Amino acid sequence: MEQSLIIKNVNKIFPQFTLQNIHMEVPEGTIMGFVGENGAGKTTTIQCILNLLKLDDGEIEVLGRKHTDPVLKDDIGVVFDENNYFDTMNIQQINKMMLKIYKNWHADEFFEMCHSRFALPEDKLIKDFSRGMHMKLAIAMALSHEAKLLILDEPTSGLDPVTRDEILDIFLDFVQDEHHSILLSSHISTDIEKIADYITYIHEGSVIFSKSKDELLENFGIMRCSKNQASLIDEEDIIAKLEHDYSVDILVDHKNKMEKKYKDIIMDKPSIDDIMLLYAKGERKVC
């Protein structure tokens, strides 16, 4: 399988924050969920990919080209959480501008999505759009110029559950083409669990893991231990550990093996939120 996106050892240094040795690979035809706490470095990573920030070190390859190659503009569809560029325009004016910017801009698809799918108002200025309308417009724009890679920063935040579901289906539809792929940053972990094939978790500027979702959710387990039980667990079996007042949660890999080894301990299947919480708040080692 070819990779749509390869990030190798990327470093970006800000005065009070550093992205450290970021690595990630997004295979064609797949969706990579990009998760992490507020301020973990997701948007900074995305800005590096889009060449909006200069790398201090490392390499990024997008669709087989160096990420600085200007021809990539046509092949990448982008949705940012906050975007005020089009505030003084309406949908018609945006269409006219996009026709000049993208060589493969499809006005018919754009209007179909804006009107039929998303019911966006034709004449309203974008600054008068609600947050949900803003996101829908951004998604319609990203999907109307034959992009092969979508880079989406919080595309479903602020949307109601019904619209969110509809948009997730659009993303799933998009990757039915085996040459298409998506990098999807989101705090809504149920969205990620629903549609991602792979998950990259970034914490304080470093990638903690970048793995297939099935591997993560099937292989990882959380052992709910008493303090006494926890003291008997081999250190090498512990990926992360979070102590509560009277109990200890321990994140382990190879869930089935661990269940047999520690028969008396309750083993839960973790959600992405559980895994992030254990890593963020507990003691951990990088896996």
Ligand X SMILES: Nc1ncnc2c1ncn2[C@@H]1O[C@H](COP(=O)(O)OP(=O)(O)OP(=O)(O)O)[C@@H](O)[C@H]1O
The tokens for 284 are: 């951990």
Kindly tell me which of 56 and 215 has the beta carbon lying closer to ligand X.
56
Alpha-carbon distance of 36 to 186, in angstroms, equals: 8
Distance in Å, CB of 189 to ligand X, minimum: 12
Kindly tell me which of 33 and 221 has the beta carbon lying closer to ligand X.
33
Kindly tell me which of 155 and 221 has the beta carbon lying closer to ligand X.
155
Distance in Å, CB of 198 to ligand X, minimum: 18
Kindly tell me which of 13 and 287 has the beta carbon lying closer to ligand X.
13
Alpha-carbon distance of 213 to 190, in angstroms, equals: 12
Distance in Å, CB of 33 to ligand X, minimum: 13
Kindly tell me which of 14 and 85 has the beta carbon lying closer to ligand X.
14
Distance in Å, CB of 36 to ligand X, minimum: 5
Distance in Å, CB of 283 to ligand X, minimum: 22
Positions touching ligand X (CB under 6 A) are 14, 17, 36, 38-44
Instruction: Specify whether the CB–CB gap between 49 and 183 falls below 8 A.
Output: yes
